[in-house]
Chains A and B, each alone.
Chain A
Amino acid sequence: MTTTSKAEFLKYDRTLGVAAMEFRGFYYPVDAAVRGDGRIYGLSRSHEGDPRGVRVCMLDLESEYYGVFGSIGEGDGQFTWAASIAIDKDDKVYVGDEYLERISIFDADGNFLDKWGTPGTESGQINGPCGLAFDSDDHLYMSDHRNNRIQKFTRDGQYISDFGSEGSGDGEFDLPWGLTVSPGGDVYVADWRNDRIQRFTPDGDFVSKHGESGDGDGQFNRPSSVAVDGEGYMYVADWGNERVQILDPDGGFVMKLRGEATVSPWAQQFLDANLDESRLRANSNLRTAENIRGDSEHELSSHIEHIFWAPVSVKLDGAGRLYVVDRNRHRIQVYARA
């Protein structure tokens, strides 16, 4: 157990990325993976109206840019509904596509290597691979969400096992989304439409569940992703509540984040080159908004730039930094342990 006080558990560190429909930047990013040496792979889903945006953008914590790979389509190395990304021990990059129902594999520089996946409901077949995570043996756990189960594969797509079924009981799922393998090997799943996190042994035996529907502390509204650190703390993308929550290893509430993005180096370069906008921006109040329609956090997030809007994925790096993929704001917010 940590001795850090709850109020100081995490603090804002920096923001990465900029909204960009192609090349450097993100466009509706949905997931990210952080390699051991710190290289970050940000997966942009984009949308059907703008195929340029679909890609993986490579960068690091210092905003050094290493290029992009992937594009929209059904060919090798292409995605239609890019949904998830993970890295194995050999630094190969795996991307799940929840429309084409397949996993595409790339080398560390983004060169296409292989693909696997068969649509369907039988064991080993997939229907919506929206969460990917490797265990210490380099076996791949997959949130096979429209089949309401978690499947386990070898790296080359050989089926090993699965667990879970549709429902709201222990060990059941309602359209699960992100998942993670803790340093201890347990599997944590963001059970999206059941508004909870479920924990399982590596073999899929139910261990515990955390959270319930709501917007109070420790409650969730459609959680989309979970990360777990070496101490067992859970970091949850509370997507529908537009926030991130941290729970202690027993599920007790620790703190919540609403987002506090600043201007990233890439964003600053844009503002420096567009002084007409940046001067007007400097004289604007972008921290508050009154007279907005309704009282939803979703609507509030559409007005205020620095807070999360659809925080969809959370990932931890080896130093304990938390990377929050801020989907509708096309960026990643980074937090660090105090």
Chain B
Amino acid sequence: MSTSDIALIAHLMRRAGFGATRAELEAYAVDGYEATVDRLLDSAAEDDVPMDMLYRYHPDHSGMIGTGGVTAYWLYRMVNSKRPLQEKVALFWHGIFATGYSKLTQGRVLMDQIDMFRRQGMGDVRTLLVELSRDPSMILWLDNHDNHKTAINENFGRELLELFSMGVGNYSEDDIKEAARAFTGWTIGNAGYMERRAQNDSLWPYGRLNLHFEYRPEDHDDGEKSFLGETGKLTGEDIVEIICRQPATARFMSRHMYSFFVADEPPVTQWPYSEPRDPAAIEILSRAYFESGYDVGEMLRVMFNSDFFKSRDSWYEKVKSPAELVSGVLRLTGELNKPDPKLQGAASEMSTMGQSLLNPPSVEGWHAGVEWIDTGNLVERINFASERFSDVNQPGIKAMIGKSMADAGGVASPERLVQSCLDQLGAIEVSEPTRAVLLAHAENLKSSSGGHENAVGEMLRLVASTPEFQKG
């Protein structure tokens, strides 16, 4: 296998997963790039997360109280799952269909939503949007339990069009009202009691009660409606079907996908006023959307195999989100691969860096890209990675040091030390200025008394602070 094969698969794993060790990359490279893409997309692959073990040692992973347990559970999956793209796609949809604990005050129903993204997130958009519309957390989050036949609440209908499928400028205010009418009667069981418990942050008497979807035909407006030029006794499912047929939906989904997996686009609110960074790429993805019958998995396959994804122009251009950074570091160190009281603390690191999973700042989700980095967050990001790489007792660090020492025959030149560490951290390629800094530090380490093990540890920590490591 060539170095370029390894480097390209490393790029794929940074974007379609949470990075990979050098050993993992070499294993993928044996099968080749396209086979690795196929493996990532394989929806039939068995879920390898031992739920019985997690539930035994972490009662809070059942998720009824607070976000700590469910966030720790999700982090465990991101760190340990053999299906990293499934977790990445769940993260992708969570950022778009942002639903938050601040209003729901319950983790379990959010965890169920993420499970739905895991299950349906690489399937067809039609089913995904219908499931989202029936999702109890979304119903409570956007007040659809208050959307009645006699008095509509437009909140969900508006966001379905504006933030979840088409974007501003592609529908009218009347379309919003008609969509809201179509979703009347889509509510949750015991809506009044559940809403009050959420407002009171009540866990009494016996903990939270999970929410379930309820369709109330007597509260559904089954009259004639006109939506995006189509008229009839439209239901919620019909609204989704019409939305999926729109070219604007194809472009909207494609632009989101491009922004998350390839290169940063401006925030969604600016999309009506700014052209995509790569219009041809959006066109390719939009075509895949229609040709596949709105299938997200096929869009991803086209994207990962495209020249615009593989192009070096997009490598190291995306700032890792806190979830990507923390998960990636923990995958490299090989820790937290079994139940551990430290799991929740590790999950809270993501919040410290500005991303509280399951509790986004608003319905718009997080503003990603360079906004992940400000002075405070950058220090947190570097400190976290540096501290984790400092623990030479972690299995992943031990393995990296061992491999580096074997490569170097025990005594490495500065060049070999730097290259070995970049390799072990996932075949990272760095700019010449970055390499010069790393080499200068490696020269200094030659005269230190800590030996090669210490030098590797020092170099791993320094790499953690480079732009190439902080990006992906």
Contact = CB atoms under 8 A, between A and B. Distances in A.
Nearest to A291: B213
Given A28-B59, A50-B66, A284 B341 contact: no
B193 interface: yes
A315 interface: no
Given A264-B205, A293-B112, A285 B189 contact: yes
Given A45-B59, A99-B341, 8 more contacts: A19-B203, A48-B342, A49-B66, A267-B204, A277-B193, A280-B196, A302-B209, A305-B209
Contact of B207 (A48, A298, A330): A330
Contacts of B72: 48
A289 B52 CA distance: 24
Contacts of A263: 205
A192 B204 CA distance: 31
Interface string B201-217: 01111110111111100
Given A263-B205, A267-B206, A302 B62 contact: yes
A190 B183 CA distance: 49
B462 interface: no
Given A302-B108, A310-B62, A277 B207 contact: no
Contacts of A192: 56
A18 interface: yes
B212 A330 contact: no
B69 interface: yes
Contact of A289 (B69, B189, B196, B200): B189
Contacts, number: 126
A222 B210 CA distance: 23
Given A18-B205, A264-B205, A276 B196 contact: yes
Contacts of B65: 50
Interface string A267-286: 10011001011001101111
Contact of A18 (B108, B204, B209, B343): B204
Nearest to B205: A267
A280 B193 contact: yes
B337 interface: no
Output the residue of B56, B116, B345 with the most chain A CB within 10 A. B56
B341 A81 contact: yes
B206 A285 contact: no
Interface in B191-239: 192-193, 196-197, 200, 202-207, 209-215
Contact of B341 (A19, A28, A48): A48
A47 B58 contact: yes
A223 B202 CA distance: 31
B311 to A, nearest CB: 39
A335 B15 CA distance: 54
Given A48-B68, A49-B60, A222-B52, A302 B344 contact: no
A30 B55 CA distance: 12
Interface string A4-37: 0000000000000011000000001010000000
B204 A274 contact: yes
12 contacts: A19-B204, A19-B206, A28-B60, A193-B52, A224-B56, A277-B200, A280-B192, A284-B190, A289-B212, A291-B213, A299-B210, A302-B210
A286 B197 CA distance: 14
A161 to B, nearest CB: 27
Contacts of B214: 290-291
A193 to B, nearest CB: 7
Contacts of B56: 177, 192, 222, 224
A63 interface: no
Contacts of A293: 112, 115-116
Interface of A: 18-19, 28, 30, 45, 47-50, 80-81, 99, 177, 192-193, 222, 224, 240, 261, 263-264, 266-267, 270-271, 274, 276-277, 280-281, 283-286, 289-293, 298-299, 302-303, 305, 309-310, 327-331
A331 B206 CA distance: 7
Contacts of A276: 196, 200
Contacts of A47: 58-60, 68-69, 344
A311 to B, nearest CB: 12
B463 interface: no
Which are the 7 A-B pairs with shortest beta-carbon distances?
A49-B68, A267-B205, A47-B60, A284-B190, A302-B210, A280-B193, A48-B344
B193 A283 contact: yes
B205 A271 contact: yes
Contacts of A240: 52
Contact of B205 (A19, A222, A309): A19
B69 A49 contact: yes
B204 A286 contact: no
B58 A305 contact: no
Nearest to A30: B59
Output the residue of B52, B68, B197 with the most chain A CB within 10 A. B52
Contact of A327 (B59, B203, B212): B59
B206 A310 contact: no
Nearest to B108: A302
Interface in B289-306: none
A303 B190 CA distance: 11
Nearest to A27: B65
A270 B204 contact: yes
Given A277-B193, A280-B193, A293-B115, A305 B206 contact: yes
A261 B207 CA distance: 13
Contacts of B192: 280, 283-284
Nearest to A130: B56
Contacts of B197: 277
A291 B134 contact: yes
B133 to A, nearest CB: 13
A291 B204 contact: no
Interface string B379-405: 000000000000000000000000000
Contacts of A292: 210, 212
B427 interface: no
B64 interface: yes
Nearest to A306: B206
A286 B190 CA distance: 8
A271 B210 CA distance: 19
B212 A281 contact: no
B78 to A, nearest CB: 18
Nearest to B194: A284
B375 to A, nearest CB: 28
A286 B209 contact: yes
A28 B341 CA distance: 15
A241 to B, nearest CB: 12
Nearest to B50: A193
A284 B193 CA distance: 7
Contacts of A270: 204-205
Contacts of A48: 60, 68, 72, 341-345
A299 B190 CA distance: 18
Contacts of B215: 291
A264 B204 CA distance: 11
A280 B192 CA distance: 7
Contacts of A330: 206-207
Nearest to B135: A293
Contact of A329 (B58, B207, B345): B207
